[in-house]
Amino acid sequence: MVPMEYYLVVSTIMMFVGMYGFFTRRNLLAMLISVELILNSVDINFVVFNRYLFPEQLEGFFFAMFAIGVSAAETAVAIAIIINIYRNIRNIQVKNLNEMKN
Amino acid sequence: MTLNLIVFFILAVFICVCSVLSVTTSRILRAATYLLFVLFGTAGIYFQLNYSFLGAVQLLIYAGGITVLYVFSILLTSSQGDKAEKLKNSKMLAGLISTLAGLAICLIVMLKNKFLPSHFESGELDVRAIGHALMGAGKYQYILPFEVISILLLACIVGGILIARKR
């Protein structure tokens, strides 16, 4: 059996890689991809804690499942907003977004 | 070195390399592809933990649905030779340093922490148990979040159509 900390190390690395992407990318879709990485790492944490620490209950399991559903909804709405922005300013770079306010 | 551990290390290296590539590659379509690989690796971890139902959900919703949505929106919003613009070196370095500092702090705190004694029970989780827990209204049963998330998905459909429709 694999020790629990190994999984947690993987998910921590994934979370901070996502944060690095969120800090350094300047494209709205690339930033959204980084957010997906962060959400995914948290899902791994929930499932691993459930499996190793409380295997007789299913809280982490269901929390991970609902988090997957919520992130699907979030992605759909965010992509709708991004397509709307593209329609307005023909561009999805962050530095051009202040053209939206007037 | 058991087979379980070898499979885990392969998955871990795969996930780490693909996630780093997905935030550092300059072409955004490649970033989406590497994200797909990361999601596959995560599903592999769920399968390894004997949660095959969650792994199947991950494959269906994330790898099947969300990635397709990303690819379509990337094809809609970016032209052919579109590359990420170069960020200033100082900003890149600041992001890298703050990320590495946060990673180091989190790893130290996590590895020094004494968790509850872990007891791994191998064996598949019964789908009947999942269904009963998802649809029951008692203690440790989840009918209320199930209904709430269905309302959320409905609101998200309506909102997506309202925002993205042509005027």
pLDDT for A56 equals 82
CA distance B107 to chain A (A): 7
pLDDT for B81 equals 60
Beta bridge partners of A93: A27
Q: What is the pLDDT of residues A36-87, one digit of tens each?
A: 999 999 999 999 999 888 888 888 999 999 999 999 999 999 999 999 888 8
Angle between helices A28-53 and B3-24 (to 10 degrees): 160
Nearest-by-Cβ selection for B32 from A33, A80, A86 = A33
pLDDT for A26 equals 86
Kindly tell me if the per-residue pLDDT of A90 is higher than 90. Answer: no
Residue of B nearest to A42 (CA): B42
CA distance A15 to chain B (A): 9
CATH numbers and ranges of domains, chain A = 4-100 (1.10.287.3510)
Q: Rounded to 10 degrees, what is the CA torsion of A94, B157, A59, B118?
A: -40
Kindly tell me if the per-residue pLDDT of B96 is higher than 90. Answer: yes
Provide, as residue numbers in chain A, all residues whose Cβ is less than 8 Å from the Cβ of B78.
29, 92
Nearest-by-Cβ selection for B49 from A5, A19, A47 = A47
Instruction: Give the best residue of A11, A45, A58 to mutate against chain B (max B CB count within 10 A).
Output: A58
- Name the one residue in this structure whose structure tokens are 């947690």: A8
Other beta carbons within 10 Å of A96: 13
| Per-domain boundaries in chain B | 1-79, 126-167
Provide, as residue numbers in chain B, all residues whose Cβ is less than 8 Å from the Cβ of A16.
99-100, 102-103, 106
Nearest-by-Cβ selection for B103 from A6, A12, A61 = A12
Give the percent of chain B with pLDDT over 70: 95
pLDDT for B108 equals 94
Least confidently predicted of A68-72, A92-96, B102-106 = A92-96
pLDDT for B127 equals 87
CATH architecture of B1-79: Up-down Bundle (1.20)
Q: What is the pLDDT of residues B40-83, one digit of tens each?
A: 999 999 999 989 999 999 999 988 889 999 999 999 887 766 66
Provide, as residue numbers in chain B, all residues whose Cβ is less than 8 Å from the Cβ of A46.
none
Provide, as residue numbers in chain B, all residues whose Cβ is less than 8 Å from the Cβ of A35.
none
pLDDT for A94 equals 84
If you average pLDDT over residues B4-26, what whole number do you get? 93
Instruction: Measure the CA–CA gap between A65 and A52, rounded to whole angstroms.
Output: 17
Nearest CA to B72 among B28, B38, B23? B28
Instruction: Measure the CA–CA gap between A9 and A3, rounded to whole angstroms.
Output: 11
If you average pLDDT over residues B112-117, what whole number do you get? 84
Provide, as residue numbers in chain B, all residues whose Cβ is less than 8 Å from the Cβ of A53.
115-116, 118
Q: How confident is the model at residue A10 (pLDDT cuts 50, 70, 90)?
A: very high
Interface confidence, given as ipTM, is: 0.92
If you average pLDDT over residues B139-147, what whole number do you get? 90
If you average pLDDT over residues B75-98, what whole number do you get? 80
- Tell me the one-letter amino acid at B145: P
Using a 10 angstrom Cβ sphere, with 0-12 exposed, 13-18 middle and 19 or more buried, the burial of residue B98 is middle
pLDDT for A72 equals 92
Mean pLDDT of chain B: 89
Nearest-by-Cβ selection for B45 from A7, A20, A26 = A7
